[in-house]
Structure 1
Amino acid sequence: MSLKIAAKTDFSEGLKSKLKDQCTEVLQLIASESENDPHDIIHEIRKRFKKTRGILRLIRDHISFYKEENAFFRDEGRRLSAIRDSTSIIEALDNLYGLYEDQLYKHTFGQFRDHLTATRDQMTTDLVDGRDVLNVIKTQLSAKCVNITHWPIDIQSFTDLSASIGRVYKRGRKGYAQAKDSKRAEDFHEWRKRVKYLRYQLDLLHRIWPGFLTFWEDELHDLSDYLGDDRDLFMLETEVEKNRNQFSDPESYQLLKSLINYQRLKLQADALKLGKRLYHLKPKFFTELLRAAWEAFDSEAEPV
């Protein structure tokens, strides 16, 4: 769901509404557990928690309770991270196979995929069924949905947001430089987090400059996808190394490693090319550009 705030909506109330929406949607997803694939539910819940943290980062210098609330949603998301990662690994394998399907035998990686699926299913049984983790999250979150309405958020001008969004852009710019220099999987993963937070925040600010920010959001979305696919392939590569004995022959093991390496290099090159464009601006210039758009939007909204 979009985080866009309607032009005529008070920005502070819009922020609280979007925060409450994320919270409410998580509870609705948990309530639909018996009707839907638990792995789809887990993926959607984690997305809502990440969006919530992106919103909180936009107002972190405006609120005194940022650290507490950010830690809360971070920790709730972590309850599901292992299961989500296991699903992402299977999806990465399927996507990679799909790219080269015409050149591979139908069950080239079948034994290894069966192992990944069995491991994921056992993890799901242990956490979702055995420990009832979704109901644990529901219990933790229910009161939060009510409290959000009363959070003291009162954005009077762009100055209330400038330091926060400037920090997110600056860290994304640093993340780009770090990944470009090191080529380490951990650095690409950290950069992706900053990219996603910035995308969510520009979505919230969309109304102040729709044409320009739509372009930036779309480009950030593409960048996030490149980095996310690279991360999933890195996790797949790790599982390949740990489970060499789950391949029917040495050739399929080596083939999968080679395909992963080739595709990761391609994704990283695409990400760095796009990152160079999106993170070219100095942070101060970036925030001043948004400030000018905010003030122009405000002046347009004032009665003549």
Structure 2
Amino acid sequence: MSYRIRPDKAFDNEVQAAAAQQLNRVIAALTDRPEGLHEAVHTARKHIKRVRALYRLIAWRAPEFQQQENDRLREMARTLSSVRDATALIEASHYLHETATSEDEAQALARVIDVLTVRRDRLSQEETDLEEKAENAIATCRKALEALKAASFGSGRRQTARIFQNSWRKTGRKATKALSECHAEAHTDQFHELRKRSQDCWMHHALLRDIWPAAMHAKQLEAKALVDVLGRYLDLSILSEVTDREPHLFNGSDDRARLLEAIISRQQSARQEALTKARWIFADEPNREARTIKRLWLEAGD
């Protein structure tokens, strides 16, 4: 069973199976840990995002369930975030190093990577309750599975089509608003909101890809690319904040100045690339696109 809702199957069963698959993958990742606990946490957080996106898609059918489970899973994901966030900064510095514009910059950024790796390892050692957090996350997922089994999403084909229409319109409007605000202001909060809506776009196209496989898959890939660019932009913003907040990491060297210069340069490129991609992805008027999704769902089930 893949991450999708098929139009020729019972809606209740499809939602139950798709959500349960992701929750069970969280449990498996945190239990088996083939690449270690930190990588398991990263994997678990990705699957949690998919469940939350699915529940947002069906929120019009089960608003109380969606709110309850979104809160449950969001809080659980937050408990697992600290070391992963520190790792994301290392990944951002690797990107800066790979795109260095001079040998001096490359050498400085290589030293920055070492500094941030030491910082991550220190934070990891200080987070002595990560094992407990992982066990609590597993227990939370089991509670989420029980809540899922007790929930009912059954609806007729036309009602299901309206559910998707309403959710699609809501996500589209939020994305359009976030994009407009990103053009007006370069604040991190606006770009973070745009990334969340882009993640919904990516995952919702994956969930409903059977209604028009080629077009939905193409849009899904474009939205995923946008999510990645926005993630890079936001990680660089956080890296800049850490650099300002913890200047002692660099022991008064010139590496901090070179790092900040690199961040500013790459952020400008990432910002422009993200806005260009977003203008295309969210070009359709939300009401019109939502009506198209409704029509495609109804036609796919005939």
TM-score w.r.t. the length of structure 1 is 0.91
Deviation at residue 269 of structure 1 after TM alignment: 0.3
Q: Deviations over 1:3-53 (max 9, x none)?
A: 2245643233111111001110111011113x4222211111111111111
Report the 3-state secondary structure (helix = DSSP H, G, I; strand = E; otherwise coil) of the residue aligned with 2:301: helix
Deviation at residue 127 of structure 1 after TM alignment: 3.4
Residue aligning to 1:29: 29
Deviation at residue 285 of structure 1 after TM alignment: 0.5
Report the 3-state secondary structure (helix = DSSP H, G, I; strand = E; otherwise coil) of the residue aligned with 1:203: helix
Alignment counterpart, residue 174 of structure 1, candidates 174, 177, 191? 177
Contact kept? 2:168, 2:286, Cα under 8 Å: no
Alignment of 1:95-174 (within 5 A): 95-100=95-100, 103-104=103-104, 107-127=107-127, 129=129, 132-156=132-156, 157=158, 158-174=161-177
Residue aligning to 1:242: 245
Question: Which letter does structure 1 place at the counterpart of 2:272?
Answer: A
CA distance in 2, matches of 1:66, 1:105: 48
Contact kept? 1:195, 1:223, Cα under 8 Å: yes
CA distance in 2, matches of 1:93, 1:147: 41
Contact kept? 2:58, 2:163, Cα under 8 Å: yes
Residue aligning to 2:51: 52
Question: Which letter does structure 2 place at the counterpart of 1:272?
Answer: L
- Give the RMSD, CA atoms, in angstroms: 2.1
CA 1:130–1:293: 2 relative to 1, 3 Å: closer
Deviation at residue 170 of structure 1 after TM alignment: 1.0
CA distance in 1, matches of 2:267, 2:2: 29
Is 1:220 matched up with 2:223? yes
CA distance in 1, matches of 2:150, 2:60: 18
Q: Deviations over 1:158-184 (max 9, x none)?
A: 012221221111101111111111011
Contact kept? 2:112, 2:255, Cα under 8 Å: no
CA distance in 1, matches of 2:37, 2:284: 41
Deviation at residue 150 of structure 1 after TM alignment: 3.1
CA 1:69–1:57: 2 relative to 1, 3 Å: same
Deviation at residue 81 of structure 1 after TM alignment: 1.7
Residue aligning to 2:277: 274
Q: Deviations over 1:128-158 (max 9, x none)?
A: 6566210111122223223323320114230
Contact kept? 1:128, 1:134, Cα under 8 Å: no
Q: Number of paired residues? A: 298
Contact kept? 2:211, 2:296, Cα under 8 Å: yes
Identity %: 21
Residue aligning to 1:284: 287
Residue aligning to 1:66: 66
CA distance in 1, matches of 2:126, 2:105: 34
Alignment of 1:69-84 (within 5 A): 69-84=69-84
Residue aligning to 1:16: 16
TM-score w.r.t. the length of structure 2 is 0.91
CA distance in 1, matches of 2:20, 2:244: 42
Deviation at residue 207 of structure 1 after TM alignment: 0.6
Contact kept? 1:237, 1:260, Cα under 8 Å: yes
CA 1:134–1:128: 2 relative to 1, 3 Å: farther
Is 1:195 matched up with 2:198? yes
Question: Which letter does structure 2 place at the counterpart of 1:203?
Answer: A
Q: Which moved more, 1:210-219 or 1:113-122?
A: 113-122
CA distance in 1, matches of 2:130, 2:38: 16
Deviation at residue 117 of structure 1 after TM alignment: 2.4
CA distance in 2, matches of 1:128, 1:280: 47
Residue aligning to 1:89: 89
Question: Which letter does structure 1 place at the counterpart of 2:28?
Answer: Q
For structure 1, which runs of at least 5 residues remain unmatched after alignment? 300-304
Report the 3-state secondary structure (helix = DSSP H, G, I; strand = E; otherwise coil) of the residue aligned with 1:60: coil
Deviation at residue 271 of structure 1 after TM alignment: 0.7
